[in-house]
Amino acid sequence: MSKTKVWELVAKRLSGEATNDELGELENLLKSNPEMHYPLQTVADIWHQNTPDTENTHLAFATHTARMKEMGMDIEPPNELPYLAETKTITRKKYLLLGAALVLLLPLFYYSFTLFYQPAVKTTAKHDDKSEVSTKYGSRTKLTLPDGTQVWLNSGSKLSYDKTYGNGIREVSLSGEAYFDVVKNPSLPFVIHTISIDIKVLGTAFNVKSFPGEKNTETSLIRGSIEVTFKNRPSEKIILKPNEKLITANEETQDNVVKAQALQQKTTPVIIKEPARQEPLVMVSHLTYAPADSTIIETSWMENKLIFRSETFEELAIKMERWYGVSIHFADAAIKPKRLNGTFENESIQQALQALQLVMPFNYKINKNEVIIASK
């Protein structure tokens, strides 16, 4: 994706000069690159403010450019943005404001990224020649695999791969949630192993959520194509297209738990009847977008947003545990099935709970990293 092209379309959209085709092109670019929604909205907010003095704008532009160069950030000078000079109907002040807005926002994006993707990551080399990267609750990280493939790892997640990765094989195992931007290599497919499915790609960008103990595994495709096979039905395959999401139910293991408990008992042997196994639920749907700013909900965590739609309080609590690095307990089970909608972005755990109290009555207590929730 050309960043210059994106900002050209942004400038035309803000000035009201974009054609329907250009608006459609921008919408598709934003869907394929969800990380652009936040900077676009921030620039739009600044655009509609009163135009500052041109001399001060130039000074701010130059000052922040110099600071970012000192930080080692690669900043293009204004004369390398030709689209600003091509559109003639927008005032010069407006363009100076847009250029200054972009430069002033870059440090914010830089610091937001470094704060959001904290280096709370643990990498270990095990005896079986595997490398493992994991994130604690409340932290996220970004890593680059030996072939250049980029991976964003959500909180409470783990990615592992052999030290032979890239030498005739590109395979990783995921427990948790990650966003992959895979380097294309037609002769060497990239394979992800999860609890219930395997995902095979050549070069694409997609999100995978497969947390232990959760009911479903979700695969959301942003661009390219992926091939999904099922652990218990390896002969069956599903090909996903961009803007599609695959949801598959993880296999229940309760029967294995019952058998293990029976074997541990030192009593008369018990004959356990094998229960009829149900095929896992498989469903293909489209990605979902937040109505306010068209953020892709499935990848909103990469923008530091926790978006939930018609989720039970119990389901939301699991997400909040990972998001805030806390442990949440319900003193009253009756409140667990209540359904909620909302978005958390910069709120603390206390602010998030207070916001939920506005739509549903309940009490809570916070003791260090433990939260107790009870009916009101």
- DSSP secondary structure string for all residues of 232-287: TEEEEEEEE-TTEEEEEEPPP-HHHHHHHHHHH--SS----PPPPPPPPPEEEEE-
> What are phi and psi for residue 230, nearest 5 degrees?
-105, 140
Does pTM top 0.85 for this prediction? Answer: no
* Segment (H or E) for 83: helix 83-86
Provide the token pair at 283: 């469903």
**Contact at 8 Å (CB) between 372 and 331?**
yes
CATH topology of domain 121-252+278-286: Jelly Rolls (2.60.120)
Assign 50 a pLDDT band (cuts: 50, 70, 90): very low
pLDDT at 34: 53
Q: Is 60 exceeded by the pLDDT of residue 178?
A: yes
- Greater confidence (89 vs 226) lies with 226
Residue type for 316, please? L
Residue 219 CA to residue 232 CA, distance in Å, equals 17
What are the E-state strand segments in the chain? 121-125, 130-135, 141-144, 150-153, 158-162, 170-181, 190-193, 197-201, 205-210, 216-223, 226-230, 233-240, 244-249, 282-286, 306-312, 327-330, 339-344, 362-367, 370-375
Q: Is 80 exceeded by the pLDDT of residue 49?
A: no
pLDDT at 263: 38
SS3 state at 222:
strand
Residue 10 CA to residue 46 CA, distance in Å, equals 13
Angular region, 264: left φ>0, alpha ψ -120 to 50, beta rest: alpha
Q: Is 90 exceeded by the pLDDT of residue 134?
A: yes
Residue boundaries of the structural domains of the chain: 3-116, 121-252+278-286, 305-375
pLDDT at 35: 52
pLDDT digits (tens, 9 = 90+) for 141-176: 999 998 999 999 999 999 999 988 988 889 999 999
Assign 43 a pLDDT band (cuts: 50, 70, 90): low
Q: Is 60 exceeded by the pLDDT of residue 71?
A: no
Q: What is the CATH number of domain 305-375?
A: 3.55.50.30
Provide the token pair at 67: 């600071």
Q: Is 90 exceeded by the pLDDT of residue 87?
A: no
Residue 10 CA to residue 97 CA, distance in Å, equals 13
> What are phi and psi for residue 200, nearest 5 degrees?
-120, 130
Residue 225 CA to residue 48 CA, distance in Å, equals 39
